[in-house]
Amino acid sequence: MDFSLTKKQQMIRKITREFSEEYIAHIAEESDQNSQLDPTVMKEMKRMKYFGTCIPEEYGGAGLHDDTISFCIITEEIGRIDASWSITTGVHCSVVAYPLYIFGTEEQKQEFLIPLAKGDKIGAFCITEANAGSDAGGVETNAYLDGDEWVINGSKIFATNGGIAETLLLVVKTGEKGRRKEFTVFIVDANTPGYSVGVREDKLGVRASNTSELVFQDMRVPKENDLGGIGKGFRIGLQILDYGRILMAAQCVGLGQAAIEASIKYANERVQFGQPIGKFQGIQWKIADMGVAVECSRLLTYQAAWMCDNKLDYGMIGSMAKLKASEAAMQATHDAVQIHGAYGLMKAYAVERYFRDAKMAEIYEGTSEIQRMVIAQKLLRRGY
């Protein structure tokens, strides 16, 4: 069993770390306060092909579609500097561009995937509604066929990238079979009449990331815009979320790593009672626990990525990775604030932002409670 990264993966880590520190680090706090992504970073992200990380070069991507570990490394390194950018690119790639590559027809790839992979357009995956959060089966946004078009009515909430997205993957109800609802994923151009952006959410963390309500009023979508087949939406949606959880876990690994690094630096510099506070056992144990939790998360995340690339069933391990990594990030950022004392409560110190960002990660892409349900059901069904 080889845990080492390839030379290519090591180089990807180095390049992404240098990029993040050069282009994102100096404006991360300002972006958080303004709740706005910087357009210069957007331009540089596009140049680096970070919007097409998991898409083959033939469709305008970076060609890492069979190297999910490298995708995780990129997400981790961006998340180490700014979770808002990490979730923006991670969601765009993992739950919009990648499903289009996996399930889309060649015509759909040419029309929708290439602009997404090149970063010419931003994508959003839309499933959550007022009555359909953890219960994805509660989706009420509906569509009916009228000639060669589907007419869609309803709304979505908490859509990451929603207010800036130009291409949406939209999960809607398209009928019922017996007592079971049937769902379909549609590809939607944001310029379609009947589509509008509602309230933009004012969030606790990842504030620069755009999270918005989306409204659909008699919106007409061409019949050929279904992704993967009519009535296949629930299965496809779950597969999309499985893949997305790996990348959200990677984001949390980066966030936890940032908290550790900030804590080590502060503990070595801050002097109390005549010595650096890092000399005290209480601080040492916190840093040790942070390191163990984040490294365990990294290993689980890379395992899920490896299983994905080797065409193994990674659903349970992906949920484990997302659960462990999000809670490890919360633990690490909590301890980082504690180590910094009163300074940890001040916006001048990045750990205050890390703490808020980490709490978000325990909620989105499936709450910790949902991850435990997924894991337990799979264990009970098949054993370990």
Structural domains present in the chain: 7-122 (1.10.540.10), 124-232 (2.40.110.10), 235-382 (1.20.140.10)
Cα(132)–Cα(110) distance, integer angstroms: 32
Does the pLDDT of residue 136 top 90, yes or no?
A: no
Task: Kindly report the number of other CB atoms within 10 A of residue 149's CB atom.
Answer: 16
Does the pLDDT of residue 374 top 80, yes or no?
A: yes
Task: Kindly report the number of other CB atoms within 10 A of residue 106's CB atom.
Answer: 8
Cα(74)–Cα(185) distance, integer angstroms: 28
The active-site residue out of 166, 295, 365, 369 is: 365
Does the pLDDT of residue 254 top 90, yes or no?
A: yes
Question: What percentage of the chain exceeds 90 in pLDDT?
Answer: 94
Cα(273)–Cα(252) distance, integer angstroms: 34
Confidence of residue 384 (pLDDT cuts 50, 70, 90): low
Query: pTM (2 decimals)?
Result: 0.95
Look up 365 and say whether it is catalytic: yes
Give 127's contacts (C-beta < 8 A, 6+ positions apart): 136, 139, 156, 171, 237
